[in-house]
Structure 1
Amino acid sequence: MSRLLRSIPLLLALALAAAAETRTVTILHTNDLHGALLPQSEFETSGARKPDRGGVARLATAIAAERDAAAKEGRPVLLFDAGDCFHGTPEGNETKGEAAIAWMNFAKYDAMAIGNHEWAYGDKNLSRLAGMAKFPFLTCTVTRVDPAATVAAIVEYAKPYVVIKAGDLRIAIIGFTTSGTPNMNLPEHVQALDFGPDYGPQGAFYMKRARTEADIVIALTHLGSQSDARLAEKAPGWDLIVGGHDHREFPKGFERGGTLIVQAGCDGASLGRVDLKYDTETRKVTSREARLIAIDSTLKEDPAAAEVVKKYIRAELDKPAGATAAFIGRGPESPLGMLVADGIRIAANADAAFINSGGIRNDLPGGPVTGRDLYMAAPFEDTLVVFSITGADLRTLLDGAFREGRLDYPVSGLQFSVDSKKPAGQRILGLKVGDQPFDPAKTYSLASTRFAANRLAADSVGRKVLGPPEEPRIPRKDLPTSLQAALLRRFEGGAIVPPPEPGRVTFVTRR
């Protein structure tokens, strides 16, 4: 009897050891797809196309392979997207996101963080997409402005977090949206919404709540890698941060404050994979291993996925629309930005024009260009606006816009130098409008897009000169002409368009 009693502790220890097991769960992730349902290609400076990458039919093949392999090993798999899923291609823009949601439903995504470009067509459209999606939209940082409410409510088409079963584990996913979203959208598209700080108290609040419901807690963010790092520091304890927004590829992720942070580039060029090992005895994640899977021409296209997106493809965009005399890229002086600004100036019949450099997204090849090439160069369905501005106000506006000593606004019809070390009001030197020295008393017409004008008007100097769109300080006229139509007009009749001459903006000194 005594021998049996002595063996009981050993038997209990063996039983506990058998019960304490390691579980592995695989997280697959994408971010910043930007409507890239088809493979995307960039261009060499020679004008030749580089091998294309991405394409959701290939991506579907990679996802299926990962799920099949995991099923054989008994590993549960979850698939997440970290935002900006639809805006940026003809298929994504013209369906206002419907095409991307159809693909994501097909791929059986489990959750998506809302990115800044999800509001490209407004709050009601985003609510419509959420109703179509078979997966939840997540954000804990976007609330509906309601003066009568004692507590700000998360927008009704999103949840702050969800808890998903993965095998016998419970996974909590908490969504985050960048606080910079209002600066990246037209005002009416984000009206009555409040975008909280990227790494404010709400992160720690929801993580603490989720810990009571889940074994593993993941932040699914559209903040950018630097803000992800700050989130890990400000609210330590995340088991994983899956991010997006700044289009970075981290092949093995990076750690901050003991948290692994991952991101998979953009345009579906990579599929991210993270394996999390969880100890059921300590109830902790014991290891995290990340890698990226290239989505390229070595992968066969999934026929069913290709069929899902087929009806959204505009084949006529792949026909020639004209030609360039040589490669026109974004580059340090932004030749392509200047070309787009030229198109705006000509379409608006203005003396000068500008465009925000962030609106220029893809280079143009040397030689024939298609309608798709032109669309992807500036993939925003914005319209034009024209201001009547005195020469004195024009110089003041440029002085503020270029004070940091960088080319944030490619221009057309203007030539000047910038000395960013000079005092405010004295930075712009040798200003010419057309080929003539500017006249401070003369009134000029200055064209741009609504978004670029609103962005510049939000700056402290721009606000004083232009004023907000609802209360402009100088005469402003909105035109029905779209940015796309303005750029296409440069190539009318199969024109061969040369790269713009350099030297429109010269930096004497930079900060």
Structure 2
Amino acid sequence: MKTTICLLAVLMFLPACQTTRTVTVVGMTDYHSHAVPFYSEGERGQGGLARALAYLREAKSRPDTLVVSGGDMLNKGVPTWSDEYECVEWPWLNGVVDVMALGNHDLDYGAEKFERCREGLEYPLLSANLVRGDGAAYFQVEGRPYVVKTVGGVRLGLFAVGGPDMQRLVKAENLPAGTRWTDAKEVARKVVRALRDEEHVDAVVFIGHQLSEDDEALAREVPGIDLIMGSHSHQKVELRVLPGTRTYYVSPYQYLAYLAEVRMHFRGKKLERVEGGLVKLDGTKKEDAETAAKVAELQRVLVAKRPERFEVLGRLTKPLSDEGVSTGAAEVGTWATEVWRRAAGVRAFFATSAGFRAGLPAGEVTVEDFYGAIPYRNVVVTAELTGEQLLEWVSLIESKKGTDGYSQRSGVRYEVKDGRVEGLEVLKDASEPGEGYERVKPEGVYRVGTTDFQAYVAAGYKEALSKARQVERTGLDVHELLKEALRKGSPRG
């Protein structure tokens, strides 16, 4: 009877007898050498490599599961672990991670050290648009710039590219000798075409390292990508379909505070549905005992060797949260930009949300806590903007809402209605904020401040500031200003 039903189903073009399969993809990204549990989202003791490895090993023990990494395993300067141990823990992921994308920070210590790190890996690295002089991809697996995995009878194609922002951030001298970047979208088109038409994969997964807005553009402009495992922007995004596409997207935040777990359901060779989301690695998740012991011993040695990084800078009576850092005024961003504004003597100050990677805890704040929250070194840049230019600048900020390019600020206030900035006001007196605000006049001239990253590197802002007058790179170090504020207990100690 079953044979007859199946035969009838085939003759009637019905899928009743097609095999259903589920493939699980578990993703980590933007680890940045955070082996030790850390302060995140208002709670201490989050994440940690021992928790992540326990979860990943358990996941890997289940059938039809792949583990992928979006890269950025290192971070020069922060935390201290990275400078001291570099890639000591990369081989711990052997047998767990199936494939890893190259991240911009993976080259922080130069190509020679990167290659030494790579030698200890049993899993491949990918970045299809980093090419040699002859145009061939620098990273290849069996002569191809992508990986095809057959899992539970399903063929998955996985690939990565380094997006435009990554290309800007990697210093030329840190790239492998003789390599260069090519256009990420064009390469992605060729790779997806090869995966679909030549490899005949059943689904395509992108694990590359680029900003979330570039991920969205890729999904819109390169058909055939089923799943994007977001990275680089450090965003916490539950699984969703990107607007105007059929591509699923998930982004597991940063530092192993979360992992992404996505289940792809197939009927025959057809991807029918995708489900899953983020997994929080908090105290409810067990640790791998062996890894925890290794991390604890290495951290003990590190603290003894670099005690200055674990000294207490100051105390906060209340935490400074980073909640909403890419969508509105986060407490840590408001505090920092106000400290910088006062020091620079300007009427308004702006700093990209990318510069804030965590909040600061209540109680004692150590040097390591501080750098974990605000890791990147910058100096203050001041400039004169007309009122019209200031409005354009603030409008640019709002156009980047929800991304790393959004900006924390102090000294300005406004409303957004129907996507337009209205009622823009700026402090009347830079030295006396108690005097209140005044409406920005198009013909007025206003001295403002920002970081040198936002002034000279950040897309959109650097072009806008190039039209400003009296642009000055000051000697004010953003880290030193904030550390001094913490030592003095300002503003909330």
TM-score for both structures, normalised by structure 2: 0.69
**Aligned match for 2:316, one of 324, 327, 349:** 324
- Write the distance in 2 (CA, Å) between the matches of 1:252 and 1:183: 28
1:463-509 Cα deviation digits (max 9, x unpaired): 2448xxxxxx86656x6x865444333334xx423249xxxxxxxxx
Deviation at 1:65, TM superposition (A): 2.0
Matches within 5 A, 1:35-434: 35-42=33-40, 49-50=42-43, 52-68=45-61, 70=62, 75-87=63-75, 89-91=78-80, 93-95=82-84, 98=87, 101-105=90-94, 108-118=96-106, 126=114, 129-143=117-131, 152-155=135-138, 160-164=145-149, 166=151, 170-182=155-167, 193-194=180-181, 196-197=183-184, 200-211=185-196, 212-213=198-199, 215-216=201-202, 217-223=204-210, 227-249=214-236, 253-254=240-241, 257-276=245-264, 283-285=269-271, 288-310=274-296, 312-313=298-299, 314-315=302-303, 316=307, 317=309, 320-330=312-322, 332-337=328-333, 339-341=335-337, 351=345, 355-380=351-376, 382-384=377-379, 401-404=393-396, 408=407, 410=409, 432-434=429-431
* 1:488 has 2:487 as partner: no
- Give the distance between the partners of 2:408 and 2:249, measured in 1 at CA: 33
Q: How far did residue 84 of structure 1 move?
A: 3.5
Check 1:259–1:337 CA distance in 2 against 1; reply closer, same or farther (3 A cut). Answer: closer
Cα RMSD after superposing both structures:
4.9
1:142-170 Cα deviation digits (max 9, x unpaired): 446x6xx6xx4445699731234546665
Alignment partners' CA distance in 1, 2:461 and 2:112: 24
What letter is aligned with 1:408?
S
Change in Cα spacing, 1:460 to 1:168, as seen in structure 2 (3 Å) is closer
Alignment correspondent of 2:453:
451
Q: 1:508 — aligned with what?
A: none
Instruction: Count residues with an aligned counterpart.
Output: 443
Q: 3-state DSSP class of the match of 1:172?
A: strand
The answer (yes or no) to whether the contact 2:318–2:361 under 8 Å persists in 1 is: yes
1:126 to partner: Cα distance: 4.9
Check 1:182–1:290 CA distance in 2 against 1; reply closer, same or farther (3 A cut).
Answer: same
The residue identity in structure 2 corresponding to 1:27 is V
Partner AA of 2:489 in structure 1: I
TM-fit CA distance, 1:261: 3.5
Change (3 A) 1:303 1:410: same
The structural deviation recorded for 1:13 is 7.6
CA offset at residue 77 of structure 1?
2.7
Q: Give, in whole Å, the separation in 1 of the partners of 2:59 and 2:107.
A: 32
Distance 1:355 1:226 in 2: 19
Partner of 1:4: none
TM-score scaled to structure 1, two decimals? 0.67
Distance 2:412 2:272 in 1: 58
Deviation of 1:90 (Å) = 0.7
Q: Distance in 2 between matches of 1:81 and 1:370?
A: 30
- Separation in structure 2 between the aligned mates of residue 298 and residue 384 of structure 1, nearest angstrom: 40
Distance 1:202 1:340, change over 3 A: same
Change (3 A) 1:463 1:271: same
> Would you say the 8 A contact 1:339–1:499 is kept in 2?
no
Structure 1 residues without counterparts, runs of 5 or longer: 1-8, 44-48, 438-443, 467-472, 501-511
| In structure 2, C-alpha distance between the alignment counterparts of 1:358 and 1:285, rounded to whole Å | 35
Contact (CA 8 Å) 1:26, 1:77: kept in 2 or not? Answer: yes
**Separation (CA, whole Å) in 2 of partners of 1:210 and 1:489:** 54
Secondary structure of 1:491's match?
helix
Structure 1 pair 345/101, CA: closer, same or farther in 2 (3 Å)? farther
What is the letter of the counterpart of residue 488 of structure 1? K
Contact 1:395–1:428, Cα closer than 8 Å, also in 2? no
| SS in structure 1 of the partner of residue 58 of structure 2 | helix
Q: Percent identity?
A: 23
Per-residue deviation, residues 349-382 of structure 1 (Å, max 9, x unmatched): 85557643431222223333222321222012x2
AA paired with 1:461?
A: A
Amino acid at match of 1:359: G
Cα distance between partner residues in 1 of 2:407 and 2:236: 24
More displaced 10-residue stretch of structure 1: 214-223 or 55-64: 214-223
Distance 1:497 1:65, change over 3 A: same
Q: Residue type of the partner of 1:82?
A: G
Distance 1:190 1:303 in 2: 37
Q: Could you say if the C-alpha distance between residues 489 and 229 of structure 1 is closer, same or farther in structure 2, counting changes exceeding 3 Å?
A: closer
CA contact (8 A) 1:416 1:431 kept: no
Task: Give the conservation status (yes or no) of the 8 Å contact 1:27–1:274.
Answer: yes
Does the residue aligned with 1:459 lie in a helix, a strand or coil? helix
Is 2:385–2:447's contact at 8 Å kept on the other side of the alignment? no
Contact 2:314/2:486 (8 A) holds in 1: yes
The 3-state SS of whatever aligns with 1:177 is: coil
Deviations 1:110-142 (A, max 9, x none): 112234554555666655544454322212244
SS in 1 for 2:262: strand
For the pair shown, which has the larger CA radius of gyration, 1 or 2?
1
* 2:148 partner SS: strand
